[in-house]
Structure 1
């Protein structure tokens, strides 16, 4: 087999924000490496996971092998979340499977197992085809080697489609999906035929200036901000600081992109959090009202490229049976959110 040079990975990888060079490979991450020291440990961990990251190329190879150093996150047990890679051939799902090998990590502990993971796809046919491999959404990946047939040809596959960045909590990150293409941003993006970057930072969407700056630095055509659920935890913000934080996020993005289309999505349904806050903090009902008020204020000031989406219209109380823990949707729930968002925001997703 022939090995594709690691130096070619920047042109083959999509959905990442930064790349970190290691002695044995290249690590795609969802934050600029220069700000890594500013992220708290949880944020640094979840933003390093490969949700929405994929490798794209055009080749006539009948097989493809990917070797990585893989670290799969878990909280309760090692197989808590799917660690599937997904390979699409000419736009159709060919196989969804975990790699052989890889280590497991729960926050605060040392990784368990050997990190080397091997993924082999065969029977792809020797015709010229477009290959897209989605990485697992709940793992860290350092790519050591990409190999194809010895006499096969390959070339980069650019993505010139409308580019939309999604930022949010674990709901956007999508740990419970069956694979990276099953998160709700990926589902909505596929239905709309657009290029998606998933900047969902599980447990770490804090309406921060830092996240806003990262978003503003990206070359994008639109942004979707799923906000609010992570500030429920611990009563992180009150009504005044919520208002200030939302306006701050919007203002930082507007400094770079005065007319960027933006949709702000409020929290989806979480039955036990709807009317009660934590530690005296805001309930989800109050958070939704605060987000809508902030968006309405910008619209009244003449910003007609921003809109509010009530999260309950994407996933409401009637859908609560699809929650795995009273907070996170299961795989079907994420698909439902993506489908509803694509239907409600068809023009936003597809029209410049």
Structure 2
């Protein structure tokens, strides 16, 4: 016997993954990637706005449905994309514009692993996922380990070809990890709400891509940056005593490498400060804290992949994802697969 299976996006769903919480409105829900109860205390409206964008949020279900349906009320000032994957491969990429999209995707016969990745930018208010004619609709076995990654627009990846091809998505898919993406365009400033959220989300691996927004915003100076970065890492370690923690330094940005910002800071200095933070904490006994040099992920000889000399293009994000998977896999003993 077959019937339609309806799966609402909500916090306790084993099918909807990657959201910290969900907010309901008129029968639809919007994902939060920071703790909503702390939003007023963030004192950062742009950070909160980015926290309600669905980067890394997806539905993962094993089903024999004949069709998948999803209503999406999308709000953004530019077009975006939604990705449908079947058995790990891109099956359909849907262009999404502001307004209501009624997604209807016919599925082939038999049982398949279905993944629907929401746009990584804009406001996505989604209705329940409807699986038409399904006799099976089980959560795709959750990937392990659980991975939280924190960063800037370079982690949110608005210029990726699709939401399943951001570098965190590429790396998570290659490693078979359960991703929570805390990438916030222009908003990676070691905010307390970010530390509290990372602390609250169960994780086996936590990576933190630090520096580029702090350079751009002159948030911290050479006098204060290392101390605040250390305090942030220490807060994460206190919440996740057994997790693998990884600090990732900024990728290449030629105009910022040796050019001082408003507080006389350069990216070269930031990388050295982050290395010092990790060295000190390792020397004090944190053997499961590691550093990944951002230049090994996208270097100065690859600036053709940075159209604005800051953000990677689609090819750059895919390459970053592959390299992050190799680096993180080496640190954790995981062997990445090829992402299709």
Compute the displacement of 1:126 (Å).
Answer: 2.9
Q: TM-score, normalised by structure 1?
A: 0.88
Residue in structure 2 matching 1:119, options 100, 103, 126: 103
Equivalence for 2:272: 289
1:237 touches 1:281 (CA, 8 Å); kept in 2? no
Post-superposition, which runs of at least 4 consecutive aligned residues in structure 1 deviate over 6 A?
Answer: none
| Pairing 1:65–2:62 present | no
| Pairing 1:245–2:228 present | yes
Cα RMSD after superposing both structures: 1.9
Residue in structure 1 matching 2:27, options 8, 12, 24: 24
Distance 1:350 1:165, change over 3 A: farther
Compute the displacement of 1:152 (Å).
Answer: 4.8
Equivalence for 1:91: 88
Compute the displacement of 1:129 (Å).
Answer: 1.5
- Secondary structure of 2:310's counterpart equals coil
> Matches of 1:8 and 1:155 in 2, distance apart?
16
Compute the displacement of 1:344 (Å).
Answer: 2.5
Distance 1:7 1:118, change over 3 A: closer
> Matches of 2:309 and 2:240 in 1, distance apart?
36
TM alignment of 1:184-333, pairs within 5 A: 184-333=167-316
> Matches of 1:174 and 1:131 in 2, distance apart?
23
> Matches of 2:41 and 2:10 in 1, distance apart?
29
2:39 touches 2:193 (CA, 8 Å); kept in 1? no
> Matches of 1:173 and 1:326 in 2, distance apart?
17
Compute the displacement of 1:349 (Å).
Answer: 4.5
> Matches of 1:146 and 1:300 in 2, distance apart?
49
> Matches of 1:7 and 1:64 in 2, distance apart?
15
CA deviations 1:289-319 (Å, max 9, x no partner) are 1111111100111111111111111111111
> Matches of 1:8 and 1:283 in 2, distance apart?
42
CA deviations 1:197-230 (Å, max 9, x no partner) are 1111111110223211211111110111000000
Query: Please, which moves more after superposition, 231-240 or 5-14?
Result: 5-14
1:21 touches 1:27 (CA, 8 Å); kept in 2? yes
Distance 1:142 1:174, change over 3 A: same
Distance 1:8 1:288, change over 3 A: closer
> Matches of 1:141 and 1:116 in 2, distance apart?
10
2:244 touches 2:332 (CA, 8 Å); kept in 1? no
Compute the displacement of 1:166 (Å).
Answer: 0.7
> Matches of 2:295 and 2:139 in 1, distance apart?
40
Compute the displacement of 1:348 (Å).
Answer: 2.8
> Matches of 2:311 and 2:134 in 1, distance apart?
46
Unpaired stretches in structure 1, ≥5 consecutive residues: 104-114
> Matches of 2:168 and 2:332 in 1, distance apart?
11
2:5 touches 2:137 (CA, 8 Å); kept in 1? no
Count of residues paired in the alignment: 330
Compute the displacement of 1:8 (Å).
Answer: 6.7
